[in-house]
Amino acid sequence: MDGIKVVSFDVEGTLVTPDYSYAIWFEAIPRRYAEKNGIDFERARAIVEEEYKKVGDQRLEWYDVWYWFKRLELGVPIPVMEGCRDKVYYYPEVEDLLTSLNGRYILSVASGSPRDFLVHLLKDIEPHFAKVFSSVSDYKQLKTPGFYREMCQVLGVHPEQVVHVGDNWQFDVQAPTEIGIRALYLDRKGQPNNEHSLVSLAQLEQHLLD
């Protein structure tokens, strides 16, 4: 890939395992809901999951932990987000990769997670990034082509000078590709030799060299 200046990363499922989010959405929130309503955990979890489904991941509220704490009448989410920090795990190749790329490329983050989450999710790796973009917090939108266009403007680069990598086909591949960013699909459960996707970020450097 010639002329690449910026390497942009999705966060959840790409740099960070889903454990932190899972602990919040499917453990901590149902637990609080159960305590507040005097019902057992499994029942609470079923109710909460049903509420999540009613909104769905194409709406901004889906990603907004403040919205959910209000909707479910659970108070303030800050202690829960802090309490789950020990569930932030990076994929094993991440630290070495970021260290290796740093200095050769501008590294940035393009996440659909709200900034409240990102401060925890990026706790150990944030110094690697020149810029962290949260589509929902900064631009009140999902990771749309428009979001990526704004990102390029802020970074002062043309879309063709950016590689973005992430694990969601719609948000990390289709949307950036639409404006000319070179997008790489991370499919950690995919076939190792599929030329259209990566199974690990360890393959990213080779793609950049190709």
Q: What is the DSSP string of 3-32?
A: S--EEEE--BTTTB-THHHHIIIIIIHHHH
Could you tell me how many residues of this chain bind Mg ion (CB under 5 A)?
5
167 binds Mg ion (CB under 5 A): yes
Binding window for Mg ion (CB under 5 A); candidates: 8-16, 73-81, 124-132, 147-155:
8-16
- Distance of CA 161 to CAs 13, 76, 79, Å? 24, 41, 40
Member of 6, 7, 8, 10 binding Mg ion (CB under 5 A):
10
Among the residue ranges 46-54, 127-135, 156-164, 167-175, the one whose residues contact Mg ion (CB under 5 A):
167-175
* Residue among 8, 12, 23, 63 that touches Mg ion (CB under 5 A): 12
Cβ 156 to Mg ion, closest distance in Å? 25
Pick the closest to residue 15 from 107, 80, 153, 104 (CA basis).
107
Q: Of 39, 162, 38, which is closest to residue 107 (Cα–Cα)?
A: 162
**Terminal-to-terminal C-alpha distance of the chain:** 6
Kindly state whether residue 146 participates in binding Mg ion, applying the rule CB under 5 A: no
- 30 and 41 in contact (C-beta within 8 Å)? yes
* CA 134/CA 180 separation, integer angstroms: 20
- Min dist. Cβ of residue 135 to Mg ion (A): 12
Scanning 71-79, 101-109, 148-156, 164-172 for contacts with Mg ion by CB under 5 A, the matching segment is: 164-172
CB of 89 to Mg ion, least distance (A): 14
Angstrom distance (rounded) from CA 188 to CA 16: 12
Question: Residue 157 CB, nearest distance to Mg ion (Å)?
Answer: 22
Would you tell me which residues interact with Mg ion (CB under 5 A)?
10, 12-13, 167-168
